[in-house]
Amino acid sequence: MKRKRIVIKIGSSSLTEEDGTLSPVKMAAFCHAIAGLRQKGHELLIVSSGAVAAGFRDIGYAARPTTVRARQAAAAAGQALLMQHYRFQLQHYRIIPAQLLVTRSDFSEEKHFQNLHAAIEELLSRKILPIINENDSTAVDELTFGDNDMLSALVGGALHADLLMLLTDADGVYSADPREDPEAVKYKELHTIPEELLQAPSRSTLGTGGIGTKLLASRAAADTGVEAYIGTLSSTEDLLQACEGSGSGTYIRTQSGRVMRTRRQWIAYHASASGVLFIDDGAKEAVLNRGASLLTVGISKTEGTFFRGDIVDVYAGAHKIGRGRVLVDHTELSGAIVESSIAVHRDEWVSLN
């Protein structure tokens, strides 16, 4: 079996009891499964939910809190408890875990993104197990990923993983909710994701994501060349079979051979745009179909204040067709352009569907 780099995201419902407390039994089973994959030579990164669910009871809440400040407090207490369990369980297999807490800014700011990437690569080179979570204790709405499903997809893309496993209490993706529709069919694999499936509601009261969020994350992963798997964990064999392509859940396939380089991923999915360029039909044809750089003569209008090195969105009419790093300031494009020069080099351009 080919050795793979695998990102495993495990949700709160897979690590906690029905009352919301962390389950030592489930934690032990998950860590045993992790050890099984490591013994096969696979390189693993874990994106683990469970901090809020693990911590809210310890600080006196009767149920999972809903306010931002209460969730932040519960996460602060729960992170320590979560990592304590991971370290205790993994020591039986001589696996050392390392915790990384991240926010959106660690991805949106290029230097932070590069540093995060380098830190994870260093941990992997030393056979350390990265356990990644959103920093819920300090993140606010504009700095969040929405849920750990999307975080795991972004991590998988940035680290060029071979497979993203989204473990949940659902055993795959169905055409309808099987609890309500006895004729619902489970998909073995999906090459495209029907829009109606993205509206699937959450199945759990302990987590933030449902099947819809997992499909959105899977689509983001597929865009960067990472295949995804959505399924449940009941034994070590589940993960081994999923890794081999014979899992009982659902696979979301990618376009064969499609891999997006890390720098382009940052431009496409993480960077904040400082402005907008509107281009004519000739420029659109050149950048989309001929692989050419975007020239200044093809720009018909600009919006925003941007400078050399900033990221801009590029529109053709009303449709955003891509984004890239500009080589000119907004002031250079404010008047009539006499001499043509490169506005966005092809190596710093990303086409968007």
The response to whether 169 counts as a known ligand-binding position is yes
The response to whether 211 counts as a known ligand-binding position is yes
The response to whether 168 counts as a known ligand-binding position is yes
The response to whether 135 counts as a known ligand-binding position is no
Q: Please indicate, yes or no, whether residues 236 and 337 belong to a single structural domain of this protein.
A: no
pLDDT at residue 35, as a whole number:
95
Query: pLDDT digits over 80-113, tens only?
Result: 889 999 999 999 999 999 999 988 888 888 888 8
The response to whether 16 counts as a known ligand-binding position is no
pLDDT at residue 142, as a whole number:
40
Q: Please indicate, yes or no, whether residues 111 and 24 belong to a single structural domain of this protein.
A: yes
Please indicate, yes or no, if residue 112 is contained in any of the structural domains. Answer: yes
Strands 5-10 and 97-102: unpaired
- What's phi and psi for 134, nearest 5 deg? -70, 140
Q: Please indicate, yes or no, whether residues 292 and 156 belong to a single structural domain of this protein.
A: no
Please indicate, yes or no, if residue 62 is contained in any of the structural domains. Answer: yes
pTM (global) more than 0.85: no
The response to whether 141 counts as a known ligand-binding position is no
Last residue of a domain, one of 262, 285, 305: 262
Please indicate, yes or no, if residue 268 is contained in any of the structural domains. Answer: no
Please indicate, yes or no, if residue 267 is contained in any of the structural domains. Answer: no
The response to whether 21 counts as a known ligand-binding position is no
Q: Which residue in this structure is represented by tokens 């994701």?
A: 193
The response to whether 340 counts as a known ligand-binding position is no
Q: Please indicate, yes or no, whether residues 54 and 184 belong to a single structural domain of this protein.
A: yes
Please indicate, yes or no, if residue 282 is contained in any of the structural domains. Answer: yes
Q: Please indicate, yes or no, whether residues 134 and 250 belong to a single structural domain of this protein.
A: yes
Domain total for the chain? 2
The response to whether 9 counts as a known ligand-binding position is yes
Q: Please indicate, yes or no, whether residues 129 and 82 belong to a single structural domain of this protein.
A: yes
Q: Hey, which residues does 324 pair with through a beta bridge?
A: 312, 349
The response to whether 2 counts as a known ligand-binding position is no
Query: pLDDT digits over 273-332, tens only?
Result: 999 999 999 999 999 999 999 999 999 999 999 999 999 999 999 999 999 999 999 988
Cα 46 from chain centre: 12
Q: Please indicate, yes or no, whether residues 155 and 286 belong to a single structural domain of this protein.
A: no
The answer to whether 267 touches 325, Cβ cutoff 8 Å, is yes
Please indicate, yes or no, if residue 64 is contained in any of the structural domains. Answer: yes
**Which two three-digit tokens encode residue 63?**
């149920």
- What's phi and psi for 239, nearest 5 deg? -70, -40
The response to whether 210 counts as a known ligand-binding position is yes
Domain, as residue range, for 131: 5-262
Q: Please indicate, yes or no, whether residues 232 and 286 belong to a single structural domain of this protein.
A: no
* Rounded (10°) CA dihedral 317, 320, 325, 326: 10
Last residue of a domain, one of 207, 233, 262: 262
CATH number at residue 311: 2.30.130.10
CATH number at residue 221: 3.40.1160.10
The answer to whether 305 touches 275, Cβ cutoff 8 Å, is yes
Q: Please indicate, yes or no, whether residues 141 and 280 belong to a single structural domain of this protein.
A: no
- DSSP structure string for 262-308: HHHHIIIIIPPP-EEEEE-HHHHHHHHHS-PPEEGGGEEEEEE---T
Please indicate, yes or no, if residue 22 is contained in any of the structural domains. Answer: yes
Q: Please indicate, yes or no, whether residues 238 and 345 belong to a single structural domain of this protein.
A: no
Q: Please indicate, yes or no, whether residues 178 and 292 belong to a single structural domain of this protein.
A: no
How many Cβ atoms from other residues are within 10 Å of residue 317's Cβ? 11
Q: Please indicate, yes or no, whether residues 244 and 301 belong to a single structural domain of this protein.
A: no
pLDDT tens-digit profile, the chain (353 residues): 688 999 999 988 888 887 777 888 999 999 999 999 999 999 999 999 888 888 888 888 888 888 888 888 988 888 988 999 999 999 999 999 999 998 888 888 888 888 999 999 999 999 999 999 988 666 555 434 557 888 999 899 989 999 999 998 888 999 888 888 888 899 999 988 877 777 655 444 334 457 888 998 998 888 888 999 999 887 767 888 999 889 999 999 886 556 677 788 888 888 889 999 999 999 999 999 999 999 999 999 999 999 999 999 999 999 999 999 999 999 888 766 657 899 999 999 999 86
Please indicate, yes or no, if residue 174 is contained in any of the structural domains. Answer: yes
